[in-house]
A and B are shown apart, each in its own frame.
Chain A
């Protein structure tokens, strides 16, 4: 081989190398998300380890947590699915307004209002309507949740009330109102024992459970939740509304300058969020409780905040984090049932896991917000 051909080959090789390098760079996003997933898995293992130490230190058998979690992903996976559905919807309900930098801490209130609307409809309509009655209940729940969410949004738009405060306080209103409705207005007068619950809904209107998972209360809600999450992703990435939400959330001045109406976007996201929250209400009462039970909601709304935050407000992420949370929640109750660890300790262990797993994401978020605040001064160039 003579020198000339060698020389010719050199630059080609270099070019190829560059191309490969570029390809790796291009895939940086993929690598980053893989890394993130890896990190989360590692954090989960660390969390479980911490919990085991905690259990041992408190004088319980450290493998209690393993027993609980193990059952939640094997024999009792149905229970995990049952919890994942409302958590997924709650995560979506939080993340829609959050994308527009609006904080909806009132998802719980909207869940209650959805449930009340649905229960009223199901008890008022004749039994013969069957699934049509259920459909009406679904619509009522979405409207109920949306309207209730709009109260806080309207207060923000017209009186500039802080949404964090208003949504939070409205939760109490909704909770007490539910108690009144369940224990008074829709009370089951014939029941032997009086409790904070309405009459049973006609069986024809119940939301079906999943036969495969019987006798668990896992229900069609999980399909609904996944569908809603995918629709949300579609809205975020493929529609003009999603674009408006993103712009209002990242730079409201820019959105306004471009002729968008930020207030209208706030109202829209809150209405959507409330409607999704309302779905949780109707699913829980029509598939799990079959009546309006005053205490049916173990504050899904707040879990939703963590679900959404852990998923970085990404709808696809919400699917995974809510499944993870479903397993945790179910693992906790299994641990309580199968071992002699008392409820309080179980709750603490679950809290430890959640805090550990979310810690690195939350820290990153805080850092980011600080940086954004700093950049915000940039009124120049």
Chain B
């Protein structure tokens, strides 16, 4: 078999960790290769080495059989390698078209020939059945579309090897299916694909062969057809994973959070919510299902206090919080895992412990009269990192040195640590590995069983169905259906999500 990519004995060290330790990955020509493993296993790192974003300390890289030294992404692009990053790298204020041609635009003399580029791109979009509005500004388009833009950008550079780093973490199930379809089409055209994901279902559905990594070393590889969920999860975490969430019995108590007739004002490019009525009781997880962009963002932000309600009342523990500031709401027992961990949930250039400190920095014993007690802060962040499985040698490192899933754990740790009475959990397990999902789900269940309430918003129907005692379906800013656990299956909920069906009345 001819190999498109041969990574031989790659070693890469970062301060305090060995991200890749003698890693060997072989990817055959024209195959879809799954790369899976825990958070911080070194998947992104080795792909960054392949794409020239960092250089290996030791080891050999061969592309199509020839040894190569890839010093920069330019070298990689020249070799026909394209990469779509875990965290997108688009210019937010430019149009889609400009983002696609950036760096390799066709020229007419000294000026860029946008017309020619447009024709070329439209051809690509037709060939792979991907449509995006080329004149839209990137900051205005949805996550799924951003991803398409990244793929088109790579195709425009005529890649023969495409690396996709956790592309499905942010996609809806339908978008994921479409992406897998696109990957198959690319494969038919002779393209080699490396596909990183934490979702075993996708691995089994889309890939030809897999490599599994753990703690910087390869723990297994082989044909996908010889694998199953159990085998893969054992290779990933080194033990059996329990997919059943250990819940206590469902016995809801008094109402914790109540929204009555809440509407928000429409703002550029966002779906407002209309006349929302909902309740979250003690000891209850309420899941909000819906295709992304149907008002979930406004729902989350209006409760958290990031945007004001146009109409309606919000009460938390029987106290009207609709006029309170963000800080006041948090002090009243609200905690909030935001949808987008990079944009709102963290500051990547601040240290891990500074990121963990956000909700408590103004409280004793963390600070007294505005002056920090650094010793206590350090101890506390070490404790949180240990407890919530954040893999880092030292919490004083910048947050950006963490792998994507570990960043998510930092956010979760911080929000869990405030002992909230109500937690808004938006995409709480986005990008985390199966071991950590087990842990986070367990923690959410624990929170529920201790008489707290959780409002769960997730693009993943599986997660909603597994965790929620009640499921609300949102469509175009309204709640169109409500089910108790086990009352409806995915297909039924899916029909409501797409607006094909709607319950006449609901109580919330």
Contacts and interface: CB of A to CB of B under 8 A. Distances in A.
Interface stretch (A68-76, A287-295, A372-380): A372-380
A258 interface: yes
Contact of B15 (A26, A254, A380, A381): A26
A254 B16 contact: no
B215 interface: no
B227 interface: no
Contact of B89 (A26, A241, A258, A377): A377
A246 B87 contact: no
Q: Does more than half of chain A's interface fall in helix, strand or loop, or is it mixed?
A: helix
Nearest to B368: A240
Interface in A5-29: 21-22, 25-26, 28
A279 B275 CA distance: 56
Contacts of B404: 381
A241 B306 contact: no
A246 B16 contact: no
A243 interface: yes
A250 B347 contact: yes
Interface of B: 13, 15-16, 86-92, 138-139, 143, 146-147, 166, 169-170, 304, 306, 325-328, 330, 336, 338, 340-350, 354, 357-359, 361-362, 367, 370-372, 374, 404, 430-431
25 contacts: A238-B371, A238-B374, A239-B371, A240-B367, A240-B372, A243-B354, A251-B348, A253-B343, A254-B344, A254-B345, A257-B304, A257-B336, A257-B345, A258-B326, A259-B325, A259-B328, A373-B91, A373-B92, A375-B342, A377-B88, A377-B138, A377-B146, A379-B146, A380-B88, A380-B342
Contacts of B146: 377, 379-380
A365 interface: no
Given A240-B362, A243-B354, A257-B326, A22 B88 contact: no
Give the residue among B169, B170, B342, B372 with the most A Cβ atoms within 10 A: B342
A380 B87 contact: yes
A87 interface: no
A256 interface: yes
Interface in A59-100: none
A238 B430 contact: no
B440 to A, nearest CB: 16
A373 B92 CA distance: 8
Interface in A335-381: 373-381
Contacts, number: 117
B400 to A, nearest CB: 9
A310 interface: no
B282 to A, nearest CB: 24
B350 A381 contact: no
Nearest to B372: A238
Give the residue among B304, B330, B370, B431 with the most A Cβ atoms within 10 A: B370
A375 B89 CA distance: 6
B340 A380 contact: yes
A378 B166 contact: no
Given A239-B370, A247-B350, A258 B358 contact: yes
